[in-house]
Structure 1
Amino acid sequence: MKKPFLIVSIFFSIIIVTLLFPRKITHAIILDSTPNYTLIYTNNKIKKIKFKNSNLPKYTVADFKFNCFKVYHCQVATPSSNRILRKTSKKYELEHIGSINLSKNPSFYKIDENNNINIATSKDIIVGKNNVKSFFNKNELKTFVIYPMKDYSNIRVGISDNNFTSIYHKEIYLQFNSPGKIYNKTENIHLDIPKHYTIKFKFSKGKINIYFNENPVISKNRLYISGGNIKIANIKRGSPAFNPSFNGILELYPSEKGLIIINEVKVEEYLTKVVPSEMPVWGGIEALKCQAIAARTYAISDMLSNRYSTLGFHVDDSTKCQVYNNILPQNISNKAVRETAGIIMTYNSIPIDAKYYSTSCGTSVNYQDIWFKSDGSSDVKPYLKTNVFFNDNTTLPSTEQGWLKFYKNKDIDAYDKNSPYFRWNVSFDKKTLEDNLNYNLKQIKNNSPDYITLFKNNNSNKKLKRFPKKLKNLKNIQVLSRSDGGNIIEISFLFDNAIVNVKNDSFIRRSFKSTSPPKIYLQNEKFIDNWFTLPSSFFSIEVTEDYFTIYGGGYGHGVGMSQYGAMCLSKKNIDFKTILNTYYKDINFTMLYK
């Protein structure tokens, strides 16, 4: 009889210990409190705990110790309001603290404009903004509470080297055109720089050597440089060439590959150097207003996308985003920026992806006709639609022969008809094109295999597993798929020993690149002879015995606003809102800040 009693005693002892055993919750977020319990978020789940009348404000972050009967210890967690300047998968850099390890299971919460809280992700943290509270646990970043972002007026721009070839720098020479300062927020570095002084910064073994006076000052972490109109003396921009200068704050930090330069500047100041770099000022004030609003919207959209968060900036200064500081500010473009200050385009209250390009062929296409995954799926952006920009009753073709005729026709009365790139052509002799394709198609296959398909022996039912050692005897090029607006979505190269199908705007255009390219003849009887890709994927091919001639139209991807078309409409005294509504559908104009 003793043995069953012992088992029962042990069982009840385990239950009692379990009920009384103290447990801990780290970084619970208080959602609500009643006379009987407190509702909390913990590990991204909602939970009730027996904590009566906590009297702690909603969304307080706290640590709790409790058992099944009560909470017997509550410690409010202290937040850090440091800006997060850079994010990687394992570490975040905090402005006044430096690089901190991220917990293996961090929690992210986002409070919206209506004061509701939801589960968020790391992508919701915008680098360089003041709307995040971070919470530590054992020297690691564990919890983040993200508040609505109120300040969009500043932007962080990554500065490239000469010719915009790289974001990484080995040396930087800064010329101070007014008294300035170099300082560090995590080390004891503070240098006062006199006017007209040039400072050299050199990347060495993961650190920054600052050459000031006799001995270099060494910084392991991010430097801040202030002083109006700071010039980077070893970078050239524009034609005629000049050394770009910057207002706002310059930041300099050592990455694994070199020094990163970031210019944190007011968005409106940024636009004074973007608008003339992206659109010629002779296009007229209304076109420049269009460019200012599109560029502002594009910049804010890129900021919110966290595209460069691992590098610590929102946009770079090259064509990967928008060209910044390649043309000096101009009075008329400054006026366009000033008269549209704070205005962006939105769709369903969200900043649109304000794509724009140089010249249309007379049409634009849907977003998904250019940017799609290898399986054909794509984001849907309803405001970026197929459109036509004709002044006459021109209709779009329905056959390949019709498209060839369309791209040969220089007399179509379209908005962009006076652009040199409205129509263009380039001819390849068979041998040259075969050599180009052998190299280019193999590169595409190696780097982006999902966008290229190989078939065996002219048989489109049998796929090749490996790229042939050499593609032999190019016999024809056929368009397999074309959008309603005319760009090629998939193209087929037919050789004696293989068929190679390529899809996607970028890869189709790159298929034809050459180390010694033939001249691309423009419709104004000028030509370009040093090109990397075809001007657009809006083209048709005419095949003769010895030559493949491409007849095309437009310059750029063909989605959103044609800059040349906008300038044409501006010259007709059409206002900027009408012009933008021509290119972006069902949008609203929103004042983001004043």
Structure 2
Amino acid sequence: MKKKVVILLLSMMLFMGVFLYGAFQNIKKPEKEKKPPITQQSAETVLENVWIVSGENSEVTYFNEDQTVSVKTAMSLSEPIKNVIGDITMKDGIVQKIKLKPERISGKVISIDKDIIQIEVDDAIQNYPLADSFKVYRIRDGLKSLTIQNILVGYDNVDFALGDGKLCAGIVEKELEIHDIRVLLKTSKYEDILHQSVTFTCTSAYHVKVGKKTISYKAGKKITVKPSSKLLKSGRITIQPKKSSGKIKLLNVKRTCGNPGYRGMIEIAKYNDKLTVVNELPMEEYLYAVIPSEMPSNYGTEALKVQAVCARTYAYKQLMRNEFSQYGAHIDDSVASQVYNNIAEDKNSIKAVKDTYGEVMLSENDVIEAYYFSTS
């Protein structure tokens, strides 16, 4: 009897549990407030200083990072666009805004130092700051993206686009013809590239250019310049003989040949409260004073001619590397490049250069790295 009562009680408890569960399930829970779906908006992207190939109606074609891209515009262009630097604002793959930068300058590049390029414009050297997104484009023989290392000091084959007072892009559309080389001249014993002061004279009458002003001096007139000198008020001077046969002598520099005399022109510029000295001259004349500095000039005609070809090849390759551009030079006059004017030129070295005029060593139409040893 007790057993039946227990079973009955358990059955009743199970029934009540099922009943209560069903009752609770039927109670409606308060509905949560529905929130509107979140719509993600794409951000705008600005492509700075791209080369805009063309733009007309509702389409723009631009070149950037070695890619040519055509895109639609959100607005119809008021007038056609062609071959200009500009900023393109994009959203969802559609052009929203275009900022053109049509202003250009051109001139001889004097130096490239960190965020500034010095350019000689209208006989005056000016400092131009670089934009953060400075680009370089070659637009001749097909479009190609280059780097600032491809801008050679001493040459004027690059135009520059200006925007907001800064250089935005370099545009290479002229063919580069190598004719001159710029050599950074070190102090005595090749100890430093920066000079405390410079004393110079010339074997012929000469003139000194200070900004747009030119001052003439007689042959043999000695001048000393220091970073604080009035002559360097504009930051840089150039010295040029009046006769092609004249040579500028640096009296504060000693080499094996004594005080060296230099063909071409000399530039002296302030740099970190000291001075840089750069010799610009034709490549072939530069080699006149490389050959005897790297090997004895009495080694015979053929040996000197071989040396001339090697030295010319090496100089060309180093020039294109542009490693001394911050000082306004391509190479220096020490073993870091190749020794120049430690021993003066002579008739044998001049003849070897003239007999091999313009000859360089090539491999698959590219100038080779012509490393050589002056002693072995």
Aligned pair in 2 of structure 1 residues 52, 140: CA closer, same or farther (>3 Å)?
A: closer
Report how many aligned residue pairs link the two structures: 331
Q: Which residue of 2 aligns with 1:230?
A: 248
Superimposed CA distance per residue, residues 375-408 of structure 1 (whole angstroms, 9 cap, x where no aligned partner):
xxxxxxxxxxxxxxxxxxxxxxxxxxxxxxxxxx
1:217-268 per-residue CA deviation (whole Å, 9 max, x = no partner) reads 4424121111131111222222xx4221112121110111521000110001
Letter in 2 for 1:85: I
Per the TM alignment, residue 35 of structure 1 is displaced from its structure 2 partner at its CA by 7.2
Distance in 1 of aligned mates of 2:98 and 2:276: 46
Aligned-pair CA distance for 1:85: 2.0
- Counterpart residue number, 2:164: 138
Aligned counterpart, 2:84: 60
Q: Does 1:29 pair with 2:51?
A: yes
1:299 aligns with 2:321: no
Correspondence for 2:214: 190
SS at match of 2:155: coil
Question: Matched residues in 1 for 2:98 and 2:371: separation?
Answer: 54
Contact kept in structure 1, 2:117 and 2:128, CA below 8 Å:
yes
Letter in 1 for 2:114: S
Render the CA deviation track for 1:320-373: whole Å, top value 9, x for unaligned.
1111112222112211100111111122222111100035xxxxxxxxxxxxxx
For the Cα contact (< 8 Å) 1:98–1:221, is it kept in 2? no
Distance across 1 between alignment mates of 2:159 and 2:216? 32
- Structure 2 CA distance, aligned partners of 1:148 and 1:355? 30
Contact 1:63 1:77 in 2 (8 A): no
CA–CA distance in 2 between the matches of 1:103 and 1:52?
Answer: 27
AA aligned opposite 1:40: Y
* Residue in 1 that maps onto 2:128: 100
> Within 5 Å, which residues of 2 pair with 1:77-88?
77-88=102-113
**How much has 1:194 moved relative to structure 2?**
2.4
Find the residue that maps to 2:152 and give its secondary structure: coil
Distance 1:125 1:73, change over 3 A: closer
Q: Does 2:233 match 1:219?
A: yes
Residue-by-residue CA offset, 1:555-575 (whole Å, 9 max, x unaligned): 3xxxxxxxxxxxxxxxxxxxx
Corresponding residue number in structure 1 for 2:138:
110
Across the aligned residues of Structure 1 and Structure 2, the Cα RMSD in angstroms comes to 3.3
106 and 43 in structure 1: CA distance in 2 versus 1, 3 angstrom threshold: farther
Higher radius of gyration, 1 or 2: 2
- Residue in structure 2 matched with residue 442 of structure 1 by the alignment: none
Amino acid at match of 2:138: K
Equivalences for residues 368-517 of structure 1 within 5 A: none
Residues 43 and 107, structure 1, Cα contact 8 Å, conserved in 2: no
Shift in Å, 1:169: 0.8
Q: SS of the residue aligned with 2:305?
A: helix
Where does residue 267 of structure 1 map in the other structure?
A: 283
Q: What's the CA shift for 1:203? A: 2.5
SS at match of 2:259: coil
Partner residue, 1:202: 226
Match of 1:39 among 49, 54, 61: 61
CA distance in 2 between partners of 1:275 and 1:168 (Å): 25
**Equivalent-residue separation in structure 2 for 1:33 and 1:117 (angstroms):** 17
| 1:26–1:331 Cα change, 3 Å | same
Q: Unaligned stretches of 5+ in structure 1?
A: 1-6, 210-215, 360-554, 556-594
Q: Unaligned 5+ residue runs, structure 2?
A: 1-35
Distance 1:39 1:69 in 2: 12
User: Cα deviation per residue 1:422-460 (whole Å; 9 max; x = unaligned)?
Assistant: xxxxxxxxxxxxxxxxxxxxxxxxxxxxxxxxxxxxxxx
Q: Distance in 1 between matches of 2:338 and 2:47?
A: 46
Q: Return the alpha-carbon distance in structure 1 between the equivalents of residues 337 and 353 of structure 2.
A: 18
| TM-score (normalizing by structure 2) | 0.77
Tell whether the 8 Å contact from 2:131 to 2:167 is kept in structure 1 after alignment: yes
Greater strand fraction, Structure 1 or Structure 2: 2
1:220·1:254 contact (CA, 8 Å) conserved in 2?
no
CA contact (8 A) 1:49 1:71 kept: no
Describe the SS at the equivalent of 1:271.
helix
* Structure 1 equivalent of residue 182 of structure 2: 156
* Cα shift readout 1:5-33 (whole Å, capped 9, x = no counterpart): xx99xx9xx99xx9xx9x98764423356
Contact 1:38-1:54 at 8 Å conserved across structures: no
Local SS of the residue matching 2:339: coil
Q: Work out whether 1:328 is the aligned partner of 2:344.
A: yes
Distance 1:175 1:337 in 2: 27
Residues 327 and 69 of structure 1: CA distance in aligned 2, closer, same or farther (over 3 Å): closer
The reply to whether residue 177 of structure 1 matches residue 240 of structure 2 is no
Deviation at 1:62, TM superposition (A): 4.6
> Matched residues in 2 for 1:328 and 1:83: separation?
30
Aligned residue number for residue 440 of structure 1 = none
Counting aligned pairs with the same residue, the percent is 26
2:88·2:95 contact (CA, 8 Å) conserved in 1? no
